[in-house]
Amino acid sequence: MQPPATPVHAAKGGGRRPFSQPVPPPLSAPPLAAPRLPGHAEPRLPVGREERGRRPAGGREGGLAGWLAAITPPEGLYPSRGPLRWHQPLPPRPAMSSAPPAAGFVSPFARPRCLAAAAPAGKAKLTHPGKAILAGGLAGGIEICITFPTEYVKTQLQLDEKANPPRYKGIVDCVRVTVRDHGIKGLYRGLSSLVYGSIPKAAVRFGMFEFLSNHMRDADGKLDSTRGLLAGLGAGVAEAVVVVCPMETIKVKFIHDQCSPNPKYRGFFHGVREIVREQGLKGTYQGLTATVLKQGSNQAIRFFVMTALRNWYKGDNPNKEINPLVTGIFGAFAGAASVFGNTPLDVVKTRMQGLEAHKYKSTLNCAYQIMKYEGLLAFYKGTIPRLGRVCLDVAIVFIIYDEVVKLLNKVWKTD
C-alpha cells in the first residue's frame, strides 16, 4: 500500500510544489517619498497594477514607526482613492435616494411604521385674540341656555344651610319642589343675569387665554401643558375681576331673593339698580377673593388638562384636526378635574355672595364657620349636580368654540 501523496498546488510559473514548502518572500518595494501638503509639488507615485498595494517604505525595515509615518495623513486632510495620495476634505456624501425600488423587485418585508415617510408638520397656527373673543362669546351664550337648570339646582343646594331646617332632601327633591311651586320656568329663574354674564365671561376667558398662550409658545408654535396651566390661570383671574364676580353676585342674590316669601327684585336691571343703591358698587363685588381663587384655579385646571390631551392626540403634527366628539370628551375630562379640584372654593364663593353674606367677616372667616358648624362635607355640597353641569358645560363650550374658530379662519384672514 502506497503512502498518501503530499498535497500540492499550482506554483507561479506553471510548476507544482507541496504545501510544506515555504512561500517565497514578496518583492520589496522601492522607497516612496513622504506626502506633501497641497500647493507643494507632489512626487509621481506608481499607480500600475503591479505596483498598487505594495508596502510603503519602512515596512519590515522601519518597523511600526515607519508604517505610521507612511500611512498617517497630514492634519485636516483625508486619503484619496489612490495609494498614499492626499487632498482637501471630501464634499459631503449625497443623501440616500428615496426613489422606489426598480420595477420587478418586491421587498418581502413590510416597511416599519416608524420609518414611513411623513410630510413635515410645520409651525402650529395661532388663533387671533379677536377671533377668540367672538367665538368665546357665542359659545358662552349657547352653553348657558342649555345647562342653566343644573346651575340653579347646584346653587339652591349650596344655599340650603344645615344651620336652618333644610328645605330639600337632595337633587331630585329640589327639582320636584321647584317645579311644583313655580313650574318648569322655575328652573330658569335668574337665567337673564347669567346670560348677560356668560357671553362676556367666555369672551374674556378665551381672548385672554389666546393672548397669553400666543406669547408662551415655542419656536414651532407648540404650547406645553405647564404653560397652558399658566395661561389658563391668567384667563381665570381676568374673567373673575372683569365679569364673573359682579355677575355671579347678582345671580346668587336673584336666586336667593326668589326663594324668599316676598321677592323684591322685579327684573335684572331693577335688581342691579337696587343692589347698587343699597350697597354701592362694592355690593356687586362681594366675595372677590374667593371668586378669583375659584376662577383662577378652575381655568388653570381645565386648560392644563385640555392642552395635555390635545398635545397627546396631535402628536408631532400641531395642525392636526380634532373631531368635535373627541373635543367634547376632552372637555368633559377637563370639567370633571376642575370640579373635584375647587368645589370647596365654589361653596365659599356662593356663601360670600348670598343675601346672608353679612354674617361672614371675610373669605377665611366664611370657610372657618362652615368647617366649625357644618363639617368638612359641607365644602362638597352640590358636587354631584355641579359635576354633571360642569362636564356638559365645558364639553359644549370647547366644541362650539373650536367650530366657530374654524369658521372664522375661513372668512377672517389674520395670518
pLDDT number for residue 120: 46
Query: How confident is residue 152, by pLDDT bands cut at 50, 70 and 90?
Result: confident
pLDDT number for residue 75: 54
- Does the pTM surpass 0.85? The reply is no
Average model confidence (pLDDT) across the chain: 76
What length does the chain have?
415
Top mean-pLDDT range of 107-116, 193-202, 328-337, 358-367: 328-337
pLDDT number for residue 181: 87
C-alpha cell at 325: 366628539
Average confidence (pLDDT) over 231-238: 95
Greater model confidence, 210 or 382: 210
pLDDT number for residue 239: 92
CA distances from residue 125 to 198, 286, 358 in whole angstroms, order as listed: 27, 40, 49
Q: What angle do CA 367, 369, 371 make, to 5 degrees?
A: 70
What interhelical angle do 363-374 and 324-353 show, nearest 10? 90
C-alpha cell at 154: 347646584
Q: How many CB atoms lie under 10 A from the CB of residue 386?
A: 25
Whole-angstrom Cα distance, residue 120 to residue 182?
60
DSSP three-state, residue 153:
helix
For residue range 63-96, list pLDDT tens digits in order. Answer: 666 655 666 555 554 444 445 444 555 556 555 5
Whole-angstrom Cα distance, residue 78 to residue 89?
6
Query: How confident is residue 227, by pLDDT bands cut at 50, 70 and 90?
Result: very high
Pairing state between β 8-10 and 16-18? antiparallel
Contact call for residues 270 and 370 (beta carbons, < 8 A): no
Query: How confident is residue 163, by pLDDT bands cut at 50, 70 and 90?
Result: very low
Residue 190 makes CB contacts below 8 A (sequence gap 6+) with 152, 251, 254, 255, 258
- Write down the residue that cell numbers 372677590 correspond to: 288
Query: How confident is residue 114, by pLDDT bands cut at 50, 70 and 90?
Result: very low
DSSP three-state, residue 17:
strand
**Residue 101 predicted with pLDDT over 90:** no
**Residue 161 predicted with pLDDT over 70:** no
Backbone φ, ψ for residue 111 (5° rounding)? -70, 130
Handedness of CA 284, 287, 292, 297 (dihedral sign): negative
Contact call for residues 226 and 216 (beta carbons, < 8 A): no
Q: Which residues pair with 254 in a beta bridge?
A: none
Q: What is the CA radius of gyration of the chain?
A: 41
Of 75-79, 190-194, 365-369, which range is least confident? 75-79
Query: How confident is residue 49, by pLDDT bands cut at 50, 70 and 90?
Result: very low
Contact call for residues 161 and 381 (beta carbons, < 8 A): no
Greater model confidence, 381 or 225: 225
**Residue 141 predicted with pLDDT over 50:** yes
DSSP three-state, residue 58:
coil
Query: How confident is residue 29, by pLDDT bands cut at 50, 70 and 90?
Result: low
| DSSP 8-state class, residue 97 | P
